[in-house]
Structure 1
Amino acid sequence: MWKWIRIPKGLALVAFLLPWMTVSCSNQKIAEASGFGLALGRITAMGQASSAADGAAVNLWLILAILAIAGGLFLLVKRGRESAKLVLGTSVAALVLIFVGTWRYSKEAILAEAGKSGGNGDMDRAALAMIQINWEIGYWIALLSLVAAAVMAWLVMSGKEEEAEAKVRALAADATEKAKQAAAKAGDAIDGATQKKDDEPPKA
């Protein structure tokens, strides 16, 4: 299992290149961003790349998450199994950093920021109700990959690696056998239908 742990860690890093967030209003997309885009404060709005004028738009939490994932990959290469605890730690840390870093884009956070800026609360809520913030495939791949890497590292640390691998192999074999049985039944059904059609007398 340990030899495969690089796959989810690498996927988590690559996922930052994929779409992470889209913003739409009345079902019309008005902005989108990748994971790296959110980290660097760059969001594509109305088809044009826009970035904040000051460094406050840079999302330090997401940058730290990227560094944690990259650090975990480096440890995997350099230290092997000895780094299981650190790999687990970097995976969990990256998960927490992503959750913290993306909270600022939630409706609650946007409304709270609007309130701080002295906006009209009722108007802000009405406008916010028309906005939909959707988390896209890159975001979910990053989260699931980090969870998978953390679980795999924990299994190695706890000495349950071989037991888990045996269960996975058993489940895979069972699924393969069921798929073969389903395919055989489908083939029998097709043969039966074909035979029945051939046995029917020709229509006058």
Structure 2
Amino acid sequence: MSWINFARIGKVVALLAFVLPWLVVSCNATPIVSATGLEMVTGSVKALSEQAPQDSSPHLWAVAGLVLIALGLVLSFVLKPVRNAAAAAGGAAAAALVILAIGMFLTIGGIKTKMAEETGEQAASAPASADNPFGGDFEANMRDAMAQAIKVETKFGYWLTLVALLGASGAAFMAFSGRVSPLAGIKLATVAAPAPADPDTTFWDSIDKNDQAALLEYLQRFPQGRFVALARMRLDEGSPPAA
């Protein structure tokens, strides 16, 4: 298997990882928002709680990453020679890796900032009451505690995508530099077609060497065959002695 095939496999794995969980927002270990990579692309992020906001906007960085991965995979098959295919595949994988890493970082930062802003607005507007004699300061402290209980975590699918893209980039670089894969000979050993059967040998192996009729048929079919001399010798051995 060549390095360019390793790069293609890495891209396929990265694409498949889009259907796995990428991001989970939880409060006190209870998930309130969950999203796969594909849901972030389509803007159909799941809100697992009624209090959680519904995110219906596609994340452009996730869309760009998906498009780059798919484009790099297609170009790796279309472009010739392998050096050009490797350059396109490696460049697309590296660009997708950077975009997905930065995009997720900014998204997590945006979620945390939004939560902090909502907490501040709600705390500032909380008046003192019989139930809350301490007013806004007490309310702010309570909401700060709630905000600290909320965690934003990247999940296995997202990290699998990054690792697969990193592997694809490395494999594409090896193919671009002309390196030989340590598994390069496996394809030849497993896929190489067997040598075509020799009809001369096949027929000779199928007949009874003591059957004169079969020997004569062999001579008629293969007058220049590899076993002509042996067939004539067997015929002579089987001929009746002269009177």
Q: 1:127 aligns with which of 140, 146, 154?
A: 146
Partner of 1:41: 43
Given the superposition, is the C-alpha separation of residues 17 and 5 from structure 1 closer, same or farther in structure 2, using an over 3 Å criterion? same
Q: Contact 2:76–2:88 at 8 Å: present in 1 too?
A: no
Secondary structure (helix, strand or coil) at the match of 1:31 reads: strand
Match of 1:8 among 4, 7, 10: 10
What letter matches 1:155 in structure 2? M
What root-mean-square deviation, in Å, do the aligned CA atoms of Structure 1 and Structure 2 show? Answer: 2.8
Whose helix proportion is higher, 1 or 2?
A: 1
Q: Which residue of 1 aligns with 2:182?
A: 165
Percent identity among equivalent residues? Answer: 28
Separation of aligned partners in 2, 1:21 and 1:116: 21
Note the alpha carbon deviations across 1:129-164, whole angstroms, 9 max, x for none. 1112222121011000000000001112223x22x6
CA deviation after TM superposition for structure 1 residue 114, in Å: 4.7
* Alpha-carbon distance, 1:51 to partner: 4.7
Asked which structure has the greater CA Rg, the reply is 2
Q: Provide closer, same or farther for how the CA distance between residues 110 and 125 of structure 1 changes in structure 2, counting only shifts above 3 A.
A: farther
Residue from 126, 131, 148 that aligns with 2:167: 148
Inter-partner Cα distance in structure 1 for 2:36 and 2:14 = 13
The secondary structure found in structure 2 opposite 1:65 is: helix
Deviations 1:161-185 (A, max 9, x none): 22x627xx9xxxxxxxxxxxxxxxx
Specify which of 28, 31, 34 is matched with residue 32 of structure 1.
Answer: 34
CA-to-partner distance for each residue in 1:64-93, whole Å, 9 max, x for gaps? 100000000110121151221111110111
Give 3-state SS (helix, strand or coil) of 1:5's partner.
helix
**What aligned pairs does 1:36-115 form with structure 2 within 5 A after superposition?**
36-46=38-48, 51-52=54-55, 57-80=57-80, 81=82, 82-106=84-108, 108-114=109-115
Count of residue pairs brought into register by the alignment? 161
TM-score by length of 2: 0.58
Q: In the alignment, residue 162 of structure 2 is paired with which amino acid?
A: L
Please state which structure has a larger fraction of its residues in strand: 1
Task: Provide the rounded CA distance (Å) in 1 between the counterparts of 2:15 and 2:86.
Answer: 18
The offset of 1:40, in angstroms, is 2.1
Q: TM-score w.r.t. structure 1 length?
A: 0.68
Letter in 1 for 2:26: S
Where in structure 1 are there 5+ consecutive unaligned residues? 170-204
